[in-house]
Structure formats: structure tokens, C-alpha cells
A and B are shown apart, each in its own frame.
Chain A
Amino acid sequence: MPELLDFGKNSIFIWTCYGITILVLGSLVITSLRKKKMTKRALTTVLDEQNKTK
């Protein structure tokens, strides 16, 4: 492990904490963005279909 990233015998605890934090926060952000994209698409589809029927 490069010296800069090596925190001695407790490295595993420190890097696991940062790793799980990045994973959880990243998942929250990606889920939120995907949900927004999907709902926007669903709303656009509904509005388009309604406009076609008019």
C-alpha cells in the first residue's frame, strides 16, 4: 500500500468506513437521480398520450 494511504494497523477500519460511506451515499444519489429520470419519463409519456387523444 502506498505510504500516503497506509494508516498502519488500523488502515482496514479507516478505509472500510470511507468505503461504505461512499457506497451508501453514492447509492442514495444514483437512486434519487434514476427515480427522477423515470418519473419524468412516465409523466411525459402520459402527457404525450393524452395530447394525442385530444
Chain B
Amino acid sequence: MLSYFANPVRFQALSKWISPILGIGAIILIIPSWIMALFIVPADYQQGDTFRIMYVHVPAVFAASGAYAFLAIASFFSFVWRHPLADTAARVAAPIGAAFTFLGLFTGALWGKPMWGAYWVWDARLTSTLVMLFLFLGYMAIRAAIRDENSSARIGAIAAMAGAINLPIVKYSVEWWSSLHQSASISLSGSEIDNSMSTTLFVGIIGYFCLFGWLVINNMLSELDARKARALVIRSSDQRPSTASKQMTENPDA
């Protein structure tokens, strides 16, 4: 089934349907979750209004971990089957994942200051999340530094797969080590917080995943168009230099 969807033409046809659904899903889930979080959900009995940061912090960290899992899986498919579409998926997912991780760390720091009295502590959860940001940035640096496409894809995939060891550390760090960071408030088995709070949080998390999916698909379509344009320019460059080929040579990422 995966090889069926790994065809770029089928992927482009399928993404025409999935992309608007994810885009609309992101808007109708994220914005109401923020409105609920800021104006409707009651203040926490211990943390007061500061806990409202949770509605931008937790979805960002969930989406960041999901993005890294996606990067590692796409890298695995790219490494084993050497499929360019899987490699494209991995490459476009990394900067998005890095942005989500940055948001998780930044909002966490601003939540930590009024709650813990410090923006940052070298706690296992915080440190492993920082490592995740470096893994995303490292992957992006590898892809940017190696000019040969095949080597870049293979070395990047190895780095991304090796970095996946950090994912369970991020998840279970609060259980494995004594941590200032609180343990999970929501899990598959249930929620430790009030229904109005957990529902708002859950809606936000799904919204962030929809946004991640929309961004990945949109950026993959851009990459495919850029590759197609580059291939056409290279094919025709022997015949006659043109305005378009000049444009593509000067700005290959456009």
C-alpha cells in the first residue's frame, strides 16, 4: 500500500483532497481551542491563570515529538527503499518540527518562571526536549551541508533514525528520573484534569497535528514542483539558455 502512495503523481492527486481538510481542520480546531483556553475554561485552583499557557505549550511539544517520529519513519523508508518521496517528506518535516520544539521550549520557559521561579532548569524533560531541537537542527545542517543528494539523504536518514532514541527519553523522563516537570496530565488511559480543560487541550493537540500535516503536504508539493522545474531546466539547458533556466540556476530553491 505504501508503495502505491509513494508515487509522486498519486501523492499529488491525493494531497489535493487531504490538504484542504487538514488546513480547515487546523483552523477550526486551533482558534476555538485558544478562545476556550483564554476566555472560557476556568482558572486552575493552584496555578491560577498561568496554567492557560498549557494550551499552547502541550500541543507544541506533542506536535514536536510527532514531527520527530514522522522524520524518523520517513528517514527509515528513505534509507531502506531509497524512495525520493519519503526523503522529501523527511526534509520538509525537520524545520516544522524544529519550530514546534522551539515553541514548546519557549512557552515552557515562560510557564516555568512564575511556577518554579526559573526560566530554565537542567531537568531531564527539559534537557531531552532541548536535545530534540538540536537533533532537528543537526538534521537540517546535514541536509544543507552535503551537496550530493544521495549522500545527503542517506547520512541525514542515519542521523534522524539514531536520534529517535531520544523520543522515549522525552516521553518517560518524568517517570525515570526525579523531575521538577509535572508528570503527564493526559494519557490514553484517561485524564487527571477537569473535562473542560482536557477537552480544550485535546482539541488543540489535534489542531496542531492537522497544521503539521498541512504544512508537510504543502511543502512537499512545493519541493516536487521545484524538482520538476529543475529537471526540465537541466534537460533543456543543452538546447538554449532561457530566462526560466537563469532564474532556476540563480535561485534553485525557488
Q: Interface on A for B, CB 8 Å cutoff? A: 4, 7-8, 10-11, 13-14, 16-18, 20-21, 24-25, 27-29, 32-33, 35-36, 38-40, 42-43, 45-50, 53
Contacts and interface: CB of A to CB of B under 8 A. Distances in A.
Contacts of A29: 211, 215
B110 A32 contact: no
A17 B247 contact: no
B38 A39 contact: no
A42 B243 contact: no
Interface centre among B56, B60, B111, B233 (most CB of A within 10 A): B56
Contacts of B127: none
Contacts of A7: 48-50, 52
B53 to A, nearest CB: 5
B52 A24 contact: no
Nearest to A32: B218
Interface in B31-54: 34, 38-39, 48-50, 52-53
For chain B, which range describes its interface: under 10, 10 to 19, 20 to 34, or 35 or more residues?
Answer: 35 or more
A45 B222 contact: no
Contacts of B239: 53
B53 A14 contact: yes
A35 B251 CA distance: 12
24 contacts: A4-B39, A7-B48, A8-B49, A10-B50, A13-B110, A17-B57, A17-B106, A20-B106, A21-B56, A24-B102, A24-B103, A25-B30, A28-B211, A33-B218, A35-B219, A35-B222, A36-B225, A39-B254, A42-B248, A43-B229, A45-B247, A46-B229, A48-B244, A53-B239
